Amino acid sequence: MTIEIPVPDDWHVHLRDDDMLDAVVGYTARRFRYAMVMPNLAAPITDVADAEAYRDRIVAAAPDDAVDFRPQMTLYCSSAVDLADLRAGIESGVIRAVKYYPAGATTNSAAGGTAMADFIDLYEVLADTDTRLLVHAESTDPSVDIFAREAAFIERELIPLAARLPELGITLEHVSTKAGIAFVDDHEQAGATVTPHHLAKERSDLLADGMRPDLYCKPVINSAEDRDALVAAATSGRADFFLGTDSAPHPTTAKYGPKAKAGVFNAAYGLEVVADVFDRAGAIDNLAAFTSTNGAACYGVEPSERRLRLEKSDIDADLATTFSTANGDEVVLFGADAATRWSVTLLD
């Protein structure tokens, strides 16, 4: 079976900086066109000049055989953001979105918010300029069970915010539960990115047969029932669900220590993982909507005119399962098994 789709976009990716940026950017740039670049560097990106400088570093690090790579820059929602600077950055086209992290929820989130309602003035700039707020929806209340944290955040923070600012476009990032799908169902202003790993795995894969740091991410991969709800939404063709890989590399030294860092590196084989999920769901005809057209429409751009072919065929090759950065850090690649079932060709 062969299917051709417009070159996909990745509406949520962590490209990091320095040696890690150099090592990972090619995986994204050779497969994806638009890439919504997360701002959670060790020093969060909170002003336009830093975003522009980061974009320049990304472009300089991208390989010459990149498809038509267009990094889209985001600012990190914090009190450090100057609203005039934000507005100017949006108007000049440098800033495409703002990302809200709950403080302490995930990697480099210490500078995040403690309450969404603290940033209403910032959201008003977004609503006014037709710019989306990207939300990491995860409660940091230690009394809330780890598998209930997305639902708790939605209930306590996101539903009230959406009601207060119905004109604000919201992307619920890396939706991981039925509660997240229900939030999108109930709010016309909301859409959601879905990751390859949340579509392909459930929490027993993470925990049942030896604990798997390579599958540990935030929000954590949830129940099989939640996974099934994500697959149903993503494969439905509905316009409000689209691919955001949340590809997030961490060195094995940080993943396989006493406290695994959250993040799955899937830029290399995420597309094959998603193709597998759609194929198993009998929904391969809706793949292009999810990977290449829904997100583009949501962010107001045309789908790519260039196409990419996926051919289902057994690949008899030893595919890489790790890569190394120039400074010797090793990173595990997610999805190599799916990549043995699909060959991917970029068409002219």
Active site residues: 246
Residues numbered 57 to 76 that lie near ligand DOR (CB under 6 A) are none
Which of ligand DOR, Zn ion, none does 263 bind, CB closer than 5 to 8 A by kind?
A: ligand DOR
CB 13 → ligand DOR: shortest distance, Å? 10
Q: Which region among 95-103, 181-189, 241-249, 307-315 touches Zn ion (by CB under 5 A)?
A: 241-249
Contact 280, 224 (CB under 8 A): no
Question: In this structure, how many other beta carbons lie within 10 angstroms of the beta carbon of residue 27?
Answer: 23
**215 binds ligand DOR per the rule CB under 6 A:** no
Smallest distance from ligand DOR to CB 58, Å: 15
Per-state percent for the chain, helix, strand, coil, to nearest 5: 40, 20, 45
Q: What radius of gyration do the chain's Cα atoms show?
A: 19
Query: CB 177: neighbour CB atoms within 10 A?
Result: 24
Amino acid at 340: T
User: Where does 116-216 show beta strands of DSSP type E?
Assistant: 132-135, 170-172, 190-194
Taking residue 306's Cβ as centre, other Cβ atoms within 10 Å add up to 13
Nearest CA to 207 among 167, 156, 147, 159?
147
Closest approach, Cβ 292 to ligand DOR, in A, equals 24
Instruction: Tell which positions 150-209 bind Zn ion, by CB under 5 A.
Output: none
Among left, alpha and beta (phi > 0; psi -120 to 50; other), residue 93 is left
Residue located via tokens 């997240």: 180
- If one asks whether residue 335 binds ligand DOR (CB under 6 A), the answer comes out as no
Query: Cβ of residue 263: shortest distance to ligand DOR, in angstroms?
Result: 3
- Using the minimum distance from each CB to ligand DOR, give the nearer residue, 213 or 263: 263
Size of the site for ligand DOR (CB under 6 A): 10
Site for ligand DOR in 245-264 (CB under 6 A): 248, 262-263
Tokens of 173: 């990032």
Question: Does the protein bind ligand DOR through residue 176 (CB under 6 A)?
Answer: no
Per-residue mark of binding to Zn ion, 281-320 (x: CB under 5 A): ----------------------------------------
- Interacting residues toward ligand DOR by CB under 6 A: 14, 40, 106-107, 136, 217-218, 248, 262-263
